[in-house]
Amino acid sequence: MPTEDEKRPPEAIYSSPSSGKFYEGVISRIFRGSRTGVIRSLSGREVPFVFQHVQMVGPLRRFEDLHEGMTVGFDVGWTGSGLRISVIRALE
């Protein structure tokens, strides 16, 4: 069952996109073995991503280019598992 945050539209969870059409956040965790990670938004919400399902925008295209502490722009989408990152754009 979705949590209250998951029932709200992304616009209500995150601050306004600051880098064009992307929300801004920081990669808080990277799991190299499973090629997954978590991005913390400016509002403090942590949203997971699975690299295989993420579209990379900008000069960085590989999972290996991502690192913890990196500032990124991102967009989100709904999946059967809830809210997930769908697009990542490096802002550094």
What domains appear along the chain, each with residue ranges and CATH number? 4-90 (2.40.50.140)
pTM of the model: 0.78
3-state secondary structure at position 10: helix
Average pLDDT in the chain? 84
CB contact at 8 A, 86 and 77: yes
Query: Residue 21 has what pLDDT?
Result: 85
3-state secondary structure at position 3: coil
Instruction: Name the pLDDT band for 81 (thresholds 50, 70, 90).
Output: confident
| Residue range 30-73, pLDDT digits in tens | 999 999 999 999 999 999 999 999 999 988 889 999 999 999 99
Query: Residue 30 has what pLDDT?
Result: 98
E strands, 1-92, are: 23-31, 36-41, 46-50, 55-57, 71-79, 82-90
